[in-house]
Chains A and B, each alone.
Chain A
Amino acid sequence: MADGMAFSLRRRLVGQLLVLAAVLALVLSLAVRIGAERASEATLDAVLGAAAQGLAEEMRAEEGGVVIDMQPATFSMLAAMGEERIFYRVDVGEVTVTGYGDLPLPGMLPSALAPVFYTVPFRDAEIRVAAVARSLRVDGRASPVLVLLGQTREGQGAIASRLGLQAAGLGLAVFLAAIPLALLVARSLTRPIDRLAEAVGRRGPRDLRPVRHPAPRELVPFVTALNSFIGRLRGTLSQTETFIAEAAHHIRTPLAVMRNEAELALRQSTEESTRARLRGLIRSADDAARSAGQLLDHATVLYRADQADWAKLDLAAMTRAVATRLAPAAEMKDMDLALDIPAVLTCEGDAVLIEAALRNIIDNAIKYSPPDSVVEVSALATDRMAVVAVADRGRGLGQAEPARLLHRFRRGDNVGDVTGSGLGLTIVEQAAGAMGGTFRLRAREGGGTCAEFCLPLV
């Protein structure tokens, strides 16, 4: 994966949560501020309007003009906490009779019932004006009366901005509180992912079972995809192994026929040069058959290791059987198979795997030992393991690291003329590993190799 693509879900989640919290905090403080402004403006407008209406209502015409009763208490009240400036203007018949003649008039004429409110700049200040209209009978004629009452709203502005600041502080506190919360949320959200990754990561290299780990619903598609991938992989692998097994099987049978024919020909032939050729042919057929057998063994081991279908069985009897079956090959090289095996050695495993492993160990020992030597096959029970040890006086391990020889198609540097596939020891090691056992190679004192195949005792 490229560096640019390696973003962190958790970091992204935390970032987005924080952005959300910041936006919420901002919206909160704005909403409180606007709400406070609206509410206080509505309240103050109501008071201002009532005062203007009161003033208008109390006006009356008397002899010699209009009587207006300016109540100091009204002005004091409008000064709201003594902080606001007050301006007023009374027009009768379009003539200003008292107050500030330069106070701006409203854009539209107010009705007698409801005051009109407007905001205008006046004498270095923004003022809120309530305008009330009525008519008054002056000298027998109806004259329109307009009462304007204005006040600054600095106190209101101060209160609104204080509330706004408080709300902003609250918003900031919410934002700060959101940081650890966001971290916590992000962690708890990504924990199932970590757990799943851990569960998958803990698996062995050959564990191709479907993932059954509990996953949150959102990860189910991912797990399903993973499982289907694993399934396809397993299918491909088993197809390959089946193919190899089939191929090996199909090669072995004609090889056997070919070997039999060659042997017959060898018996019937008298010409020495032909006989030598036929003997070479037989040896090559044997090698090919062995390689095919090993390929088959390898495929079998892989397949059965996956099945993990273990049963109780007697390792001693099986070792004896394999040794007996390989005895003719040893005899051909005038070698002795010395057996030191107890009557019964019960352990758990798969019979086919164990047989393939034992056959490969003993066959290897015979193959790499000189004629007239002895291969000792012994079996014993240690405290928890059943051990089958096969010791030879062969050419040993050479310079190679014992563990390296267990790799597939890896052969020692001293194999020389001996043909081999490099699969034998791999089969043994995989069989042992699959059943919970071990396989070790070590150099033997006085030359040769000792191979130890261990399985857990029941």
Chain B
Amino acid sequence: MRRILFALGLSLGLAQSLAAFEVESTQDFGPEAPPRVLSVLSTTDTAILAPVITAYLAQTPGLGLRYVMASSQEVHRAIADEGAAFDLVISSAMDLQMKLANDGFALSLPADLVADQPVWSRWRDLLVSVAQEPVVLILADGVLRAGEDVPRTRRDLIALLRDNPDRFRGRVGTYDPAVSGAGYLFAAQDARLSDTFWRLAEVMGRLDARLFCCSVDMIDEVRAGRLLVGYNVLGLYTQAQGAEGITVVELEDFTLTLLRTALIPRTAPEPEAATDFMRFLLSAEGQALIASGDGLAAVEEAAFERNPHLRPIRLDPGLLANLDAVSRNRFLTEWRAAMEQP
């Protein structure tokens, strides 16, 4: 839809000379040489947040915004290890964001801003959700034969895969939890919520499932027809890249809902401006822009009432257990054992 209006330049890897963490892209919004610049570090694709950024800058003259995009691990490293000077950190890695907040890297937000947010979408006055998105199953068009229904639950999916090993061998994809933080988070949450996860892992292992680092890659492969099933794909990207050629399924036994969270780091040079921007992101106008943009959903309690299968991933220190190296190793060992069978 709306493309970048005030894009002044796309400078790849510009910040790398200064910081050790790995930046994917940097983009400046707003007027040339503005008196004040708000710097945002985010895991979200620049294009997705561009509409809301331009709308915000249009009503705050004299403010520029530098949007730096990096992977979730790099975002965490930038703040926790390097103390990089960013005003706002937006990330989909809820566990890493939680660790930043828990370990004292986040500034307290104003009470009125926090009070308006539902309890499930924030943690204390440190971390608030700016968007939510379901973690879905995607199927390539034409994967289903006549008489086959779209799987509605994990049980259905397991049955479908198990009954048609020839069709699906080597053509099922999911996150590699050993590589992807998000993939690990989803797998751990799946395992926490239901035992079917381990059965599914076994079935996928038997079908020589392909493992991916990112949702985008999985979607591309499905669209290209090289992959028939993508399990645990971020809903955002399915919409961002157009739904042609794929079927998006929200499994009805439960569908995890990821919260994109934002915090203001202690090292923020412009905390007031960051708070103001966050206020805009959380306002009705900001949320409407996020929802109308490329695929992000507004933070909305009613969504869970309308769709009882949606389960927001609990935003609390329970997420820290996911990050524990020893626990993680144990989980991955179990997972590998399930996936790699003789």
> A99 in the interface, Cβ–Cβ < 8 Å?
yes
B316's contact among A65, A69, A76, by CB below 8 Å, is which?
A: A76
Q: Is the CB of B330 within 8 A of A68?
A: yes
Q: Decide yes or no: A72 and B326 within 8 Å by CB, A82-B123, A85-B102, A123-B104 being known contacts.
A: no
B324's contact among A66, A76, A82, A99, by CB below 8 Å, is which?
A: A99
- 14 pairs, CB–CB < 8 Å, chain A vs chain B: A66-B326, A67-B326, A67-B330, A70-B321, A70-B327, A72-B314, A75-B316, A75-B319, A76-B317, A82-B119, A85-B102, A86-B320, A124-B104, A125-B104
**How distant is the Cα of A97 from the Cα of B327 in the complex, in angstroms?**
11
Which residues of B sit under 8 angstroms from A68, Cβ to Cβ? 324, 326-327, 330
> B147 in the interface, Cβ–Cβ < 8 Å?
no
> A74 in the interface, Cβ–Cβ < 8 Å?
yes
**How distant is the Cα of A78 from the Cα of B330 in the complex, in angstroms?**
22
Given contacts A66-B326, A70-B321, A123-B104, 17 further A-B pairs with CB under 8 A are: A67-B326, A68-B327, A68-B330, A69-B327, A70-B324, A72-B318, A72-B321, A73-B192, A74-B321, A75-B316, A78-B317, A82-B119, A82-B315, A87-B102, A98-B324, A98-B325, A125-B104
Which residues of A sit under 8 angstroms from B316, Cβ to Cβ? 75-76, 79, 82
Q: Is the CB of B124 within 8 A of A76?
A: no
Interface size (A, Cβ < 8 Å)? 27
Binary per-residue interface labels of chain B (158-189) against chain A in the complex, 1 for a CB within 8 Å, 0 otherwise: 00000000000000000000000000000010
> B148 in the interface, Cβ–Cβ < 8 Å?
no
> B112 in the interface, Cβ–Cβ < 8 Å?
no
- With contacts defined as CB atoms under 8 Å apart, how many contacts are there between chain A and chain B in the complex? 70
- Tell me which residues from 114 to 146 in chain A have a Cβ below 8 Å from any Cβ of chain B: 123-125
> A324 in the interface, Cβ–Cβ < 8 Å?
no
Q: Give min CB distance, B99 to chain A, whole Å.
A: 10
Closest residue of chain A to B95, judged by CB? A72
Which residues of B sit under 8 angstroms from A269, Cβ to Cβ? none
Q: Is the CB of A72 within 8 A of B322?
A: yes
**How distant is the Cα of A84 from the Cα of B314 in the complex, in angstroms?**
14
Which residues of B sit under 8 angstroms from A74, Cβ to Cβ? 318, 321
Interface size (B, Cβ < 8 Å)? 23
> A90 in the interface, Cβ–Cβ < 8 Å?
yes
> B149 in the interface, Cβ–Cβ < 8 Å?
no
> A83 in the interface, Cβ–Cβ < 8 Å?
yes
Q: Give min CB distance, A321 to chain B, whole Å.
A: 107
Binary per-residue interface labels of chain B (309-342) against chain A in the complex, 1 for a CB within 8 Å, 0 otherwise: 0000011111111101111001000000000000
Could you say which of A85, A98, A123 has the most chain B C-beta atoms within 10 Å of its C-beta?
A: A85
Which residues of A sit under 8 angstroms from B195, Cβ to Cβ? none
**How distant is the Cα of A71 from the Cα of B317 in the complex, in angstroms?**
11
> B103 in the interface, Cβ–Cβ < 8 Å?
yes
Q: Give min CB distance, A99 to chain B, whole Å.
A: 7
Q: Is the CB of A79 within 8 A of B104?
A: no
Q: Is the CB of B326 within 8 A of A70?
A: yes
B318's contact among A67, A75, A124, A125, by CB below 8 Å, is which?
A: A75
Q: Give min CB distance, A80 to chain B, whole Å.
A: 10
Q: Is the CB of B317 within 8 A of A86?
A: yes
Please list the 5 inter-chain residue pairs (A to B) with the smallest Cβ-Cβ separation, ordered nearest first: A76-B318, A72-B318, A70-B321, A70-B327, A123-B104
Closest residue of chain B to A84, judged by CB? B317
Q: Give min CB distance, A293 to chain B, whole Å.
A: 103
Closest residue of chain A to B103, judged by CB? A123
Could you say which of B314, B320, B322 has the most chain A C-beta atoms within 10 Å of its C-beta?
A: B320
Could you say which of A70, A97, A98 has the most chain B C-beta atoms within 10 Å of its C-beta?
A: A70
Which residues of B sit under 8 angstroms from A72, Cβ to Cβ? 188, 192, 314, 318-322
Q: Give min CB distance, B97 to chain A, whole Å.
A: 14
**How distant is the Cα of A187 from the Cα of B52 in the complex, in angstroms?**
73
Which residues of A sit under 8 angstroms from B317, Cβ to Cβ? 75-76, 78-79, 82, 84-86
Which residues of A sit under 8 angstroms from B104, Cβ to Cβ? 85, 123-125
B124's contact among A67, A71, A83, A87, by CB below 8 Å, is which?
A: A83
**How distant is the Cα of A84 from the Cα of B322 in the complex, in angstroms?**
17
**How distant is the Cα of A79 from the Cα of B314 in the complex, in angstroms?**
12
Q: Give min CB distance, A55 to chain B, whole Å.
A: 10
Q: Give min CB distance, B191 to chain A, whole Å.
A: 10
Q: Give min CB distance, B180 to chain A, whole Å.
A: 18
Binary per-residue interface labels of chain A (47-81) against chain B in the complex, 1 for a CB within 8 Å, 0 otherwise: 00000000000000000011111111111101100
Which residues of B sit under 8 angstroms from A76, Cβ to Cβ? 314, 316-318
Q: Give min CB distance, A19 to chain B, whole Å.
A: 38
Closest residue of chain B to A122, judged by CB? B104
Q: Give min CB distance, A47 to chain B, whole Å.
A: 14
Q: Give min CB distance, B83 to chain A, whole Å.
A: 14
**How distant is the Cα of A90 from the Cα of B315 in the complex, in angstroms?**
24
Q: Give min CB distance, B234 to chain A, whole Å.
A: 21
Q: Give min CB distance, B327 to chain A, whole Å.
A: 4
Closest residue of chain A to B123, judged by CB? A82
- Tell me which residues from 61 to 106 in chain B have a Cβ below 8 Å from any Cβ of chain A: 101-104
**How distant is the Cα of A71 from the Cα of B330 in the complex, in angstroms?**
12
Binary per-residue interface labels of chain A (312-353) against chain B in the complex, 1 for a CB within 8 Å, 0 otherwise: 000000000000000000000000000000000000000000
Which residues of A sit under 8 angstroms from B101, Cβ to Cβ? 85
**How distant is the Cα of A125 from the Cα of B320 in the complex, in angstroms?**
18
**How distant is the Cα of A85 from the Cα of B314 in the complex, in angstroms?**
15
- Tell me which residues from 2 to 40 in chain B have a Cβ below 8 Å from any Cβ of chain A: none
Q: Give min CB distance, A153 to chain B, whole Å.
A: 13
Q: Give min CB distance, B271 to chain A, whole Å.
A: 16
**How distant is the Cα of A125 from the Cα of B326 in the complex, in angstroms?**
26
